[in-house]
Amino acid sequence: MSRRRQIYEGKAKILYEGPEPGTIIQYFKDDATAFNAQKKGMISGKGVINNRVSEHIFTLLSGIGIPTHFIRRLNMREQLVKQVEIIPIEVVIRNVAAGSLSKRLGIEEGTQLPRTIIEYYYKDDALNDPMVADEHIACFGWATQEEMHDIADMAIRVNDFMSGLFAAINIRLVDFKLEFGRIWENDYSRVLLADEISPDGCRLWDMVTNEKLDKDRFRQDLGGEVEAYQEIARRLGLLPVDPDTEVLDLESHRKNRGL
């Protein structure tokens, strides 16, 4: 068995000490949780897909100049990343009303938002990750105002890039969650995009059928979660295309569009 030191086990990942100082290994599990871990289950093969999808998106993002913690993928379930001090804020970016926004404000799910919304949640399971404002973040010193400026800036750039990436494969990026970390160089710190970007933390709807291709399939007991994650990977070009399914997809696509 592994002789590496485990640093932390979260709901979907395990973190191990990396081979060099300042690095860690992220191991992607198949475990799935929802509603602050009140619902638990497994999505078979999810870890392998999330590792690959996250690698793909982080690599593309660093190509447009977003600083990230990603170094390289090591194997099917593991990637090497820079060790960062995680900023205890979940950054949620919304383009279309869904989930907690719809529930809280009574806005029908699927309503296109007239402008993108960024929300912040304080990462604390015991408190159920409460939504917070910039003022709370500054007041309690979770991040500096300069860091929050960089975070908001990056969140918008990531959203623009990812909306285009998914639109090109007929998927609507409804909303998603990002996490950031700080890295110290002498007395200075820098903010990097951290954690993962995968169907676990994004709402992804098929543009033609509105079918949900993300963790809502698990949250809402819709079934077909393994296939949904595979479909995302396939459309991103990360899984071989099944020629039979491809023909079927094309036919239903044509039918839906009245072609």
* 237-256: contacts with ligand UDP (CB under 6 A): none
Distance of CA 171 to the CA centre of its chain: 15
Q: Which of 56, 77, 203, 212 binds ligand UDP (CB under 6 A)?
A: 203
- Please state the closest distance from residue 130 (CB atom) to ligand UDP, in A: 11
Nearer to ligand UDP, 82 or 177 (CB): 177
Nearest to ligand UDP of 67, 99 (CB atom): 99
* Backbone region of residue 106 per phi and psi (left: phi > 0; alpha: psi in -120 to 50; beta: other values): left
- The nearer residue to ligand UDP, 6 or 220, going by C-beta atoms, is 220
d(C-alpha 229, C-alpha 19), whole Å: 30
| CB distance 15 to 8 below 8 Å | yes
Among 62, 100, 144, 189, the residue binding ligand UDP under the rule CB under 6 A is: 100
Rule CB under 6 A: choose which of 99, 170, 183, 249 binds ligand UDP. 99
**Binding positions for ligand UDP, 48-67, rule CB under 6 A:** none
CA 152/CA 155 separation, integer angstroms = 5
Residues 6+ apart with CB under 8 A from 113: 94, 95, 96, 97
Total site size for ligand UDP, rule CB under 6 A: 14
Q: What does DSSP say about strands 202-206 and 171-185: parallel, antiparallel, or unpaired?
A: antiparallel
Binders of ligand UDP among 163-202, rule CB under 6 A?
Answer: 175-177, 201-202
User: In the complex with ligand UDP, which residue's Cβ is closer, 55 or 175?
Assistant: 175
Shortest separation between residue 45's beta carbon and ligand UDP, angstroms:
19
CB 53 within 8 A of CB 233: yes
Q: Which is nearer to ligand UDP, 18 or 205 (CB)?
A: 205
CA 90 → CA 29, 93, 109, 149, 181, distances in Å? 20, 10, 21, 15, 11
Residue 129 is a binding residue for ligand UDP (CB under 6 A): yes
Name the minimum Å distance from CB 85 to ligand UDP.
20
Would the CA dihedral through 224, 226, 231, 236 be positive or negative? Answer: positive
Q: Is 92 in the site for ligand UDP (CB under 6 A)?
A: yes
Give the Cβ contact number of residue 240 at 10 Å.
Answer: 8
- Among 165, 181, 182, which Cα is nearest to 173's? 165
- Minimal distance, residue 253 CB to ligand UDP, in Å: 25
Task: By CB under 6 A, name the binding residues for ligand UDP.
Answer: 90, 92, 98-101, 129, 175-177, 201-203, 215
